[in-house]
Every structure is written in structure tokens, then in C-alpha cells.
Amino acid sequence: MTQSKHVGGVVVPLVTPFDHNGDLAAENARGLIGHLLDLGVHGFYVGGSTGEGFFQSADERCEYMQFVSEVVDGRGLLIAQVGAFSVREVHQLAKFAADVGYDIVSSTPPTYFTYTDAELVEYYRHLAEVSQIPVLLYNVPGMAGRSLSIATQVEMLKLPNVIGSKHTDMNFFSAERLLREVPDAAIFNGPDEMLTGGLAMGMVGGIGSTYNLMPRRYLGIYEAVRSGDMDGARRSQATVNDVTQELLNLSPGVVPGIKFGLKLLGYDLGEARRPFLPITQDTSRFEALLRNSEGMR
């Protein structure tokens, strides 16, 4: 990892663009990436849940990783989410990420089967040994289907070449314990709705889906907390939470909603891949809140 790059800040989990046939259309993301960089976001998290990484082939994931790296061209922190059902594929993706200039690889825990804590620790130990760049854990109990104990997370964070964790968990008690037990770990806040709280606790930054839609607001929260303006941070948090609450009310869910919102803002990256379905309900309240949050008429 380039020493000049700060591990922290507002890191956008980038969406993946598809054309009307559902095929990867990487070039369609160029404008969005440039816009986000111009606003001052600190980096991108590629291939995660928001990026529909698990819906793509390894070749598609590599193609998009390389495209994003070329467009960013060293102007921000690059984190590649390489989790997959096949551990061999995970390691292949991690190697490719290092080869095309990523700074960090991240991975969801292995899913589907119920693995023991020892197996999960070994999974990350092996990835950290294989990876040529640092590893960021990804604690996401809502998607992984299980919660990791504090002791297990501490053990993982102390593994060689593990740099920190993306803490997508509403359990801030465990986050506080991790920050105390492994004070040098780079813990990123995952729940968009709680960025102010996470930063106030000492997290290095945040990685959240709605950063795609409201980057100015999240950058404002980050800077407000850093400068000690907690009232300002809370006000901005309330604004983004109004939008997020309405987004969560949309069916079929967050990923289609993020792409719908981006289209409203002028960035058409296609629809989410099946089995997600297009949004068909009334979106007028969501649209009004989103436009207001971004200062648009």
C-alpha cells in the first residue's frame, strides 16, 4: 500500500453498472467515479454488497476492478471485496487486485455452511498469508447469517497482514471493545445510519451504500466530527437518515434503490441484477428527500 494513502475517511462502496441486457458496462461508471473524486471522497470499496459482487463472474469482477483502478489513477484509497463461495477464487481475486493497484483487499466471511470460529479465523489467516496487500475484515452479521464473538474478532484483527475491519453491525458495544483491545486497527463504520456515532467512538471512517447518493453530506459529517462540531454532524446525520429510512421502505431493497436514486441524480448505471426486481411503487417521497439532501430542485 502506498504510504501516502490514508486508511480512513469517506469510502464509497461503488455500484457496478450493467447495460439493458444485464451485462457489465464498466464505462458507464466513469462519470460517477469522477464526480465522487471531485467532491473529495477518500476512496472506493469495489465488489461488495452494493456492487453486487456475488452476482458476477470472476472475470467480470476482475474487469471492473481494473477499470476502477485505471479511472481513479491513484487519487483515492482502493479496497477490493474479494469474498466468494470458492476460497481459490477468493485468492485469485486478491492476487488480481494487488496486480492492478489496489491498496487493500476485504472479504465477507465464508457463507452458506455454518462454520466454526476456528474455521473462520483460519479463512482470514490464509487470505492474509496469500494476499500481497493488507486485508480488511468484513463483519456483516445481517448478510453472513451469524455474529462473530468479540474474542474471535480480536483474534482475527491481530493476525499478521490484517489491517482492520469493516464493522457493518449495529452492535457498538462490540465495536468499542475492538477499538480498546486492538487500538491500532482501522475500524470502518458500516451502518450508514450511525456514521456520526462510529466516528465519535474513534473509527477511522465509514463505508456505506448511501454514500453513492449523498457524498456531500457524509463528507460533511466526517469533517464535522473531526473538527468537534458534533451538533453539525448530528444535523447532517438526521438528514441522511431521513433519506435512508425512506430508501429502506422501498421494495425490493437497498441495491435497486441506490441505482434508482443515482439515475435520479443523472447517473444511469442500469438496474440491479436478478433476482432483484425493479422498483414499481410510489417513490415521490424518496425522490423529494433525496433531491433536498443534495440541494437539488
The number of folded domains in the chain is: 1
Give the model's pLDDT for residue 276.
Answer: 93
Percent of the chain with pLDDT over 70: 96
Q: For residue 176, is it within any domain?
A: yes
Q: How many CA atoms lie within 13 A of 44 on its CB side?
A: 30
User: Tell me: the pLDDT tens digits for 123-144?
Assistant: 999 999 999 999 999 998 866 6
- What is the per-residue burial (b if ≥16 Cβ within 10 Å, else e) of 86-99? eeeebbbbbbbbbe
Q: For residue 245, is it within any domain?
A: no
Residue 64 above 90 pLDDT?
yes
Sequence-ordered strand ranges (E) for the chain: 9-14, 43-46, 77-81, 104-107, 135-139, 162-167, 186-189, 205-207
Confidence of residue 4 (pLDDT cuts 50, 70, 90): low
Q: For residue 257, is it within any domain?
A: no
Q: For residue 269, is it within any domain?
A: no
Q: What are the CA-CA distances from residue 276 to residues 199, 253, 256 (Å)? A: 32, 8, 7
Give the model's pLDDT for residue 51.
Answer: 97
Q: For residue 161, is it within any domain?
A: yes
Q: For residue 240, is it within any domain?
A: no
Spatial distance between the Cα atoms of 275 and 55, rounded to a whole number of angstroms: 9
Q: For residue 236, is it within any domain?
A: no
pTM over 0.85: yes
Residue 100: give the domain boundaries.
9-215
Give the model's pLDDT for residue 73.
Answer: 97
Q: For residue 251, is it within any domain?
A: no
CATH of the domain at 175: 3.20.20.70
Q: Can you tell me the mean pLDDT for 270-274?
A: 96
Residue 3 above 60 pLDDT?
no
Residues taking part in catalysis: 138, 166
User: Tell me: the pLDDT tens digits for 215-252?
Assistant: 999 999 999 999 999 999 999 999 999 999 999 998 77
